[in-house]
Amino acid sequence: MGDGTGEQYRAVAVIGGGVIGASWTALVLARGMRVTVSDPRPDIEPVVRAGLRAVAPTLGELGLDVVALVEDTGALVFESDLAAAVADADVVLENVSERLELKQRVWAAVEVAAPGDALFASASSALTATAIGERMRRPERLVIGHPFNPPHLVPLVEVVPGARTDPAVVDRAIAFYRAMGKSPQLVKKEIPGFVANRLQAALFREAVHLVCEGVVTEQELDRIVTGSIGMRWAIAGPFETFHLGGGPGGLPAFLKHLGKSLQEVSWPSLGAPSLDEPTVALLSDQAQHFDATVDQLAARRDQAIVRLMGALRQVPAQAPE
C-alpha cells in the first residue's frame, strides 16, 4: 500500500514476536502487506498465530480486512534467520527485549542484510536511537517508533530521532505510521521515557502516594480518574484542559489565577513514595481486588477503546496538525 508520498509498502519484517511484535504484525497484515516475523524461539509461529486470531475480531470491528490474520493466505511467513527475514523488506520494525546490547546487535545485523532503502524503526520504549544505533555503520537510518499497549488499537506512535537520525527517515517513518492508520507524533528531543511514559510516571507516582497514605484504594483512584481527568484527557490534553479552565482568557488567565497556587502549594505537596517492599506488597495486595481476571479486563478495555474511537471519530479531539 502507498502512504500518499509516493512510497509503496509491500513487505514488512517484524523482528521479535512478543506482544508488541504480534500486534504490529496484525495491523500490517490487516493493511494488506506481507509480513515476515523473525524470532529465534522455536514455538513462535503458533504463539503469534494465536495472538493474531485473538485480535482479529477487534480489528474487524474497526473495518480492517482480517482474513490474513485468521487464515494462512501466504501473507505471513516465519524466518528465524535475521538476515533472510529482512532481505526483501521495505520496512523493518524491531520489537525485541529492552536490552541495549541485544538491540545494538540486531540492528548491526539488519543493516547489512536489508535493502539499502528500507525504513528502519525500533519500538523501544526507553532506549534511544542514539544508543541503539551505536554499532551501525549508518545510524542515520534508525528512528524510534514507540507504540502504546495495545498497539493495534491505541493510535499514538512516538517518533523519536536519535542524534544522528536523518530527518528524511523521520518523515518517512511518520508517513508510514500514518499509512497504517496510526497517529504518529514527533518528539523533537531524546529524553528518557520520551513524553507519554514520563507523564504516566509522574501521575503514577502521586497515585502510589495517595494509596499508601490510605486516601483511596487503587480501585477508588481508578474510578476517580476514569470519571474525571481521564475522560477529559481522552478528548483534550492537559494544556487544552487548563486553557478551557481559564475561561475566555484561556491558559494565560488560568496561570495568572492558579499558577502561584500550583507552584507554591500543589507541586510542593505532591508525594515522593518509595517502591520498597512494604509498598509493593500493599500495591500487589490491592491488585487482587479488581473485579475480573486480567484477560477479562483486557478484553473489556479493548472493546471500550474501539467504541471510544468510533464515538470520537465524528468529533475530532483536535483538528489535525
* Residues within window 148-167 making contact with its own copies, judged by CB under 8 A: 148-149, 154-156, 158
Is residue 295 close enough to count as binding its own copies by CB under 8 A? yes
Among 87, 102, 109, 255, binds its own copies (CB under 8 A): 255
Taking CB under 8 A as the criterion, the residue among 47, 87, 196, 212 binding its own copies is 196
C-alpha grid cell for residue 310?
Answer: 468510533
For residues 123 and 98, is the Cβ–Cβ distance under 8 A? no
Cell of 18: 512478543
Does the protein bind its own copies through residue 108 (CB under 8 A)?
no
The count of chain residues that interact with its own copies, using the rule CB under 8 A, is 115
Q: To the nearest whole angstrom, how small is the minimum distance from the Cβ of residue 36 to its own copies?
A: 25
Is residue 130 a contact residue for its own copies (CB under 8 A)? no
| Identity of the residue, 70 or 317, whose beta carbon is nearer to its own copies in the bound complex | 317
DSSP state of 140: G
Q: Residue 106 belongs to what H/E stretch?
A: helix 100-113
- Among 115, 167, 252, 278, indicate the residue that binds its own copies (CB under 8 A): 252
Residue tagged 472493546 (cell numbers): 303
- Minimum CB distance to its own copies smaller for 111 or for 218: 218
* Residue 268 CB, nearest approach to its own copies (Å): 10
Stretch that binds its own copies, among 85-93, 112-120, 166-174, 253-261 (CB under 8 A): 253-261
Window of 59-67, 80-88, 104-112, 226-234 that interacts with its own copies by CB under 8 A: 226-234
- Distance, CA of 311 to chain centre: 21
C-alpha to C-alpha distance for 147 and 104, rounded to whole angstroms: 20
C-beta of 108 vs 181, nearer to its own copies = 181
- Which CB, 34 or 242, lies closer to its own copies? 242
* Binding status of residue 201 toward its own copies by CB under 8 A: yes
Q: Under the criterion CB under 8 A, does residue 50 sit at the interface with its own copies? A: no
DSSP string, 280-300: HHHHHHHGGGSSS-HHHHHHH
CA neighbours closer than 13 Å in the CB half-sphere of residue 280: 3
What is the grid cell recorded at 124? 523501544
Q: Which stretch binds its own copies (CB under 8 A): 21-29, 30-38, 169-177, 197-205?
A: 197-205
Q: How far apart are CA 160 and CA 181, in angstroms?
A: 18
Is 65 an interacting residue with respect to its own copies (CB under 8 A)? Answer: no
Task: Say how many C-beta atoms besides its own lie within 10 A of residue 242's C-beta.
Answer: 18
| Residue 50 or 312 with smaller CB distance to its own copies | 312
**Identity (one letter) of the amino acid at 223?**
R
Which residues make Cβ contacts (< 8 Å) with residue 239, sequence separation at least 6? 251
The footprint of its own copies on residues 259-278 (CB under 8 A) is 259-263, 265-267, 269-270, 272, 274-275
Please, which contacts does 106-110 make with residues 24 or more away whose CB atoms are closer than 8 Å? 106/15, 106/82, 107/132, 107/133, 107/135, 107/136, 107/142, 108/135, 108/136, 109/82, 109/83, 110/13, 110/15, 110/82, 110/86
Q: Which of 126, 163, 168, 278 binds its own copies (CB under 8 A)?
A: 126
The stretch among 30-38, 134-142, 147-155, 164-172 that binds its own copies (CB under 8 A) is 147-155
Q: Is 185 an interacting residue with respect to its own copies (CB under 8 A)?
A: yes
Q: Does 41 bind its own copies (CB under 8 A)?
A: no
Rank residues 67 and 304 by Cβ distance to its own copies and give the closer one.
Answer: 304
